[in-house]
């Protein structure tokens, strides 16, 4: 019979061991699926590594994927510390992309490039923030579970995108906007064909700023206290309403910024598929990083490598890209299951004879 005893404190080894084992188990699950597809997992993982880091170009493509992950996971580190479980980064990303694209597609053509791009980024950030304020308000006013609210808002956001793509924003019946004008394209920083763009600097700046917010500011302290113990927070005089809203705005805003930056710099067109699933991948990045935004930068790059390499093995080895999803989900699954071991001491006991 298994017995669970609550731990007073978590040994340091476990804090490191659980994420590592989670990743290994995730890769193992991926291997099992690959064996079913009659592919040698070692060769496949080799191909993934090569596809992600094999050349300067492939590495820059990895970073292209890492940028939105870094931006989103930075915001998630903040709200998750407050125990506001925003899993709606996908929706916030989409709304951010739509809002910013509006200006790219219908803004005044005469506007200077820096001004237009700045306004697009601001509008995208505001769009994402708005999409995150909704569940935050529902939470503070009516105690609506934010997991469900944010998850459902993802669907609404997806369908709003569909609405525009199949409606007035599409071109010649295709669910695809016209191409962004040069003025509306966020600059890339490496020579073609690399698509790495200045959003990378947004991401690094966001990670540093959120790290400072969490570690150094009054607001970060309030968010941490609130996340751990709401009653103590109230006794300390912390304004629960204000804290939840601001944190949600930061998290949603960064997701929105990720959406418009990726759309404007990489895709240069608004379409149905704008890689909004980064909103889910970033959740894994934030948790694997132990909710530290600086660590999340590194984790984001690794997860991006998995994705970039995943595209490669799809092309080269004909392994379906879905395998990446299997690996990522298994990692998160093991990570969450690992909480049991970090919070409880599990012992095997023999059942007492009656």
Partner 1 sequence: MEGQEQLMLVMSNITKRFPGIVANDHVNFALRKGEIHTLLGENGAGKSTLMNVLDGIYYPDEGEIVIEGKRVDLRSPLDSMKHGIGMIHQNFMLVDSLSVIENVILGLESQGFYIDKKSVADRIEAIARKYNFRVDPYAKIWQLSVGEQQRVEIIKTLFKGARILILDEPTAVLTPQESEELFGILREMKSEGKSIIFISHKLNEVMSVSDRVTVLRKGLLVGTVDTASVTERELAKMMIGRDVLFRLERKEIEQGREVLKVEDAQAHNDRGIMALNKLSISVHGGEIMGVAGVAGNGQVELAECITGLRHLVSGHVTVEGIDVTNATPCTLASAGVNYIPADRLGVGLVPNLSTVDNAMLRKYRQKPMCRGTFIDYGAACTYADGLIEKFDIAVPLRNAPIKVLSGGNMQKLLLAREIAENPRLLIAEHPTRGLDVGATEFVRKTLLEERDNGVAVLLISEDLDEILMVADRVAVMYEGRIVGIVDTHHVDIAQIGLMMAGAVGAKA
Site string for partner 1, 41-80 (x = CB under 8 A): ----------------------------------------
Do 165 and 271 meet the contact criterion of CB atoms below 8 Å apart? yes
Question: For residues 2 and 352, which CB has a smaller minimum distance to partner 1 in the complex?
Answer: 352
Planar angle of CA 258, 148, 157, nearest 5 degrees: 40
Q: List the structure tokens of 263.
A: 């759309």
Spacing of C-alpha 335 from chain mean position: 16
Least separation in angstroms between residue 132's CB and partner 1 is: 22
- By beta-carbon proximity to partner 1, the closer residue of 111 and 209 is 209
Neighbours of 8 (CB within 10 A): 6
Judged by beta carbon, residue 108 or residue 237, the one nearer partner 1 is 237
Give the C-alpha separation, 175 to 197, whole Å: 25
The answer to the question of residue 8 lying near partner 1 (CB under 8 A) is yes
User: Closer CB to partner 1, residue 41 or residue 227?
Assistant: 227
| CB within 8 Å of 6: residues ≥ 6 apart | 343, 344, 345
Question: Could you give the string, one character per residue 199-238, with x where binding to partner 1 holds by CB under 8 A and - elsewhere?
Answer: ----------------xxxxx-x--xx--xx-xx-xxxx-
Among residues 1, 5, 9, 348, the one that binds partner 1 under rule CB under 8 A:
9
Q: What is the DSSP letter of 271?
A: B
**CA-to-CA dists, residue 266 to 157, 187, 193, 308, angstroms:** 21, 9, 11, 14
Identify the bridge partners of residue 345 per DSSP, sorted by sequence position.
5
Longest dimension (CA), the chain: 86
In angstroms, give the least distance from the CB of 219 to partner 1.
7
| Cβ atoms of residues 319 and 39 within 8 Å | yes
Q: Minimum CB separation from partner 1 for residue 295, in Å?
A: 18
Name which of 9 and 38 has its Cβ closer to partner 1.
9
**In this structure, are strands 2-6 and 344-348 parallel, antiparallel, or unpaired?**
antiparallel
Closest approach, Cβ 352 to partner 1, in A, equals 7
| Residue 218 CB, nearest approach to partner 1 (Å) | 6
- Cβ proximity to partner 1: between 238 and 245 the closer is 238
The neighbour count for residue 336, using CB atoms within 10 Å, is: 11
- Choice between 227 and 310, CB closer to partner 1: 227
Judged by CB under 8 A, which of 2, 182, 348, 352 binds partner 1? 352
Binding site for partner 1 (CB under 8 A): 8-9, 215-219, 221, 224-225, 228-229, 231-232, 234-237, 352, 354
């Amino acid at each position: 019979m298994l017995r669970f005893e609550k731990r007073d404190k978590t040994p340091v080894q476990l804090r490191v061991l659980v994420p590592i084992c989670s990743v290994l188990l995730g890769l193992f699950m991926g291997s099992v699926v690959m064996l079913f597809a009659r592919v040698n997992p070692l060769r496949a993982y080799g191909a993934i590594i090569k596809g992600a880091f094999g050349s300067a170009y492939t590495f820059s493509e990895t970073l292209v994927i890492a940028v939105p992950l870094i931006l989103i996971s930075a915001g998630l580190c903040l709200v998750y510390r407050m125990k506001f479980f925003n899993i709606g980064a996908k929706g916030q990303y989409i709304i951010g992309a739509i809002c910013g694209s509006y200006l790219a597609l219908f803004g005044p053509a005469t506007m200077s490039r820096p001004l237009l791009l700045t306004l697009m980024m601001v509008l995208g950030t505001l769009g994402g923030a708005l999409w995150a304020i909704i569940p935050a308000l529902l939470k503070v006013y009516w105690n609506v579970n934010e997991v469900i609210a944010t998850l459902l808002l993802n669907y609404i956001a997806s369908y709003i995108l569909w609405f525009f793509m199949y409606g007035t924003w599409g071109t010649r019946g295709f669910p695809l906007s016209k191409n962004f004008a040069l003025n509306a394209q966020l600059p890339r920083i490496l020579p073609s064909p690399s698509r790495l763009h200045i959003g990378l600097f947004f991401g690094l700046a966001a990670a540093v700023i959120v790290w400072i917010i969490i570690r150094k500011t009054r607001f970060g302290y309030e968010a941490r206290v609130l996340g751990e113990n709401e009653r103590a927070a109230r006794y300390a005089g912390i304004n629960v309403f204000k804290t939840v809203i601001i944190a949600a705005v930061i998290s949603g805003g960064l997701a929105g910024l990720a959406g418009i930056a990726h759309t404007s710099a990489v895709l240069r067109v608004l379409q149905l598929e704008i890689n909004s699933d980064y909103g889910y991948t970033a959740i894994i990045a934030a948790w694997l990083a132990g909710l530290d935004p600086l660590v999340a930068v590194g984790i984001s790059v690794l997860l991006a490598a998995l994705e970039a390499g995943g595209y490669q093995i799809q092309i080269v080895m004909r392994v379906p890209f879905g395998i990446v999803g299997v690996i990522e989900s298994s990692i998160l699954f093991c990570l969450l299951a690992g909480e049991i071991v970090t919070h409880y001491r599990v012992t095997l006991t023999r059942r007492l004879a009656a």
